[in-house]
Chain A
Amino acid sequence: MQRRVTFDSRLLPYLLLAPQVAVTLVFFIWPAAQAIWQSVHLQDAFGIRSEFVWFENFTYVLSDPNYLDTLKTTVIFSVAVTVLAMGVALLLAVLADSKIKGARVYKTLLIWPYALAPAVAAVLWMFIFNPDIGSFGRALRAFGYDWDYRLNGGQALAMVILAASWKQVSYNFIFFLAGLQAIPRSVMEAASIDGAGPARRFWTITFPLLSPTTFFLLVVDMVYAFFETFGTIHALTQGGPGKATETLIFRVYQDGVVNNDLGGSSAQSVILMVIVIALTAVQFRFVERKVHYA
């Protein structure tokens, strides 16, 4: 017989739900509704004149070739950040999980960067990479390599990808390490006795057993790359040179806050919201099928 938890009062379940519902309403539904309202209006900066313009803001944004370029940059940026952050984290986690001297120290050190605010991290990166004042930047130039991310779009993009990934490696590392430690030793030992080498053990046992963690991190990292890298980009390149490092979220800020175009900026927010909802849905629908839950 199935055991069912029941509440004595009809009101209690609603009461218990209320905080969560309130948080969702105030911090998600309300601003999202405002964004949708703004996205179909044209307003001056002070909000004195407001005009309903149907989907004009959307057509304006979507017919802007620069917006499509930004979309392309965002895809490159997000995929690169996700792959790099997860790849490096997995490698480090596997190494830290093996029996080495001082593993605890390594583990602690690897988690540190996560405690750093993105803007602070970006300033540190600037002190490393700036061609005039950065240690590494100056060294590169001293060796005759023409390093100048203020003018070279490729270098700028590579730099923000590196900085944004580095920030996320720690987070991924913790999860991968926890995932690795949850894998039963006996399975690994059995495989060893059967003569499987480290590489084979990794690909046939560790990796499949890690897949729930990997899938979770894939979603989290994608969302991170889309939304949370604003601070890094803002502090390092401000989207330049040209528009080489301008991602969708950065442009939302630029148009809304700097350029006072609330309608266009809200239209972009709505588009971004749709993209991320779609992306997450796709990931859950298709990628998750391949995930092996132990």
Chain B
Amino acid sequence: MLTRRKLALLTGAATATALLFAAALPGAASAQQKTVVDFWHGLPQPLGGQLEQIVKDFNDSQSAVQVNASYKGSYPETMQAAIAAFRAGNAPHIVQMFEVGTATMMAAGPAVKPVYQLMQETGASFNPDAYIPAVKGYYSSKDGKMMALPFNSSTTIMFYNKDAFQKAGLDPNKPPATWPEMIEAAKKLKASGSTCPLTTSWPVWAQFEQLGAIHNTPFATQQNGFGGLKAELKINSPLYVKHVQTLIDMQKDGLFKYGGRDNKPDALFPSGECAMIHASSGLRSRILKEANFAWGAAPLPYWPEFAKDGPKNSIIGGAAFWVMTSPKRTPAEYKAVSQFFTYLAKPEVDAKWHMDTGYVPVTMKGFELTKAQGYYEKNPGADVPAAQLTRTPTTENSMGLRLGNLPEIRNIIQEELEKAFQGQQDARQALDASIKRGNAVLRNFERANKG
């Protein structure tokens, strides 16, 4: 009897399992019909996780497209991976590319499908004017067409230690707005015992590219390279010489500290060592987490003598999403990509990303939505980056840069700066040497991409 009952149970279980399978089958079939989109990004944690959450939200919001996001290392590594994959005929559908890779991507011709073209072909509605002008300009071709989808953008601002300001007898609610004020503040901070009144992250982005934009002074000829591949560096004009010499002198006097290349100096501010830092607005979340002192955010200072009608808008950094081609792409895949992009361009998605991460909103609507939600009242200073980006209409010097191999040029300038900070050369020599070496890089890029 017992065995028979067992047998019956087993049979029942088997039938139930078979039924379950049958019920699951249509679902499995539809999963197979989903169009799969590969998306490579270069954001480490926690930002990478937040980006993947957005991708997941998109995947859950509809049933036709499955976007697979994968982390490919730092921005330059992601770029390398995408280039190598393209050479092997296996490019991902979408790749996140940092802003200095823009010119390389634009020159890539058949390797890239411009976003405006993608949206046109797939019949998606896409309005480039929804984007903040400084963002739109950076990723637009010469004739004003959007080549990539802007996503995570930042800009350079100043963070300062309010406790250190208090200690030095400075008004903690009145950060220096100009460079002369900046030098005065640094002197007082030093007198009060600070070993590092000022440092800068991203030395070239913050002290050269932004400097040129704010003072409406070209970084390179040909409208900073927007006009064509023949651009040459122009960073030895009086503004740059004065600025770099000021930094060298401040370094000698213990008012400024060179903290290393790229974002290496980031750590110097939250640790409390440096009282002021010029850094990416994206540093905000780290300061929030690590700093155990009162701090504030302010726009970058400017030179009144070089900005007679006030400072202009700053330029962006960060990254955008590029659509890559491959021999085996189907129209359905492009359609899926455009669906994903339409989702990303929504103001709600933009505003949420901005509030979650500290990147700036890239659309005007996203900025307004954030304001309307009262976010800036609750987080004073969080609107500084967006306000600085939008404070004036863009000029041809504040649209951004379109120079080939810009990462290499940044390194060259950093190397020459380091030699100057070691006392081996003065500002003029450092800038002249940077121009000579930088122009050689630009000519190489021109030669390799002229065809």
Contacts and interface: CB of A to CB of B under 8 A. Distances in A.
A242 B419 contact: yes
A42 interface: yes
**B interface, how many residues as a size bin?**
35 or more
Contacts of A150: 258-260, 264, 418
Interface in B68-92: 76, 80, 83, 86-87
A132 B451 contact: no
Nearest to A243: B415
A49 B448 contact: yes
A58 to B, nearest CB: 14
Contact of B76 (A51, A258, A263): A258
A102 interface: no
A153 to B, nearest CB: 6
Given A46-B111, A48-B109, A238-B261, A259 B422 contact: no
A151 B421 contact: yes
B52 to A, nearest CB: 26
B170 interface: no
Contact of B405 (A60, A257, A259): A259
A257 B87 contact: no
B352 to A, nearest CB: 34
Interface string B29-59: 0000000000000000000000000000000
B216 interface: no
A49 B449 contact: yes
Contacts of B86: 46-47
B111 A48 contact: yes
Interface residues of A, number: 30
Interface string B255-270: 0001111001001100
Interface string A144-158: 000000111100000
A72 to B, nearest CB: 15
B333 interface: no
A241 B418 contact: yes
A257 B79 CA distance: 10
Given A42-B448, A44-B108, A153-B422, 15 more contacts: A43-B448, A48-B108, A48-B109, A48-B111, A49-B448, A51-B451, A60-B444, A132-B268, A241-B422, A242-B422, A254-B411, A257-B80, A258-B408, A261-B405, A263-B448
Interface of B: 76, 80, 83, 86-87, 104, 107-111, 258-261, 264, 267-268, 271, 273, 405, 407-408, 411, 414-416, 418-419, 421-422, 424, 437, 441, 444, 447-449, 451
25 contacts: A43-B448, A45-B104, A45-B108, A46-B83, A46-B86, A46-B87, A46-B108, A47-B86, A48-B108, A48-B110, A66-B437, A132-B267, A132-B273, A151-B422, A240-B261, A240-B418, A242-B415, A242-B418, A242-B424, A257-B80, A258-B76, A259-B405, A259-B408, A261-B408, A261-B444
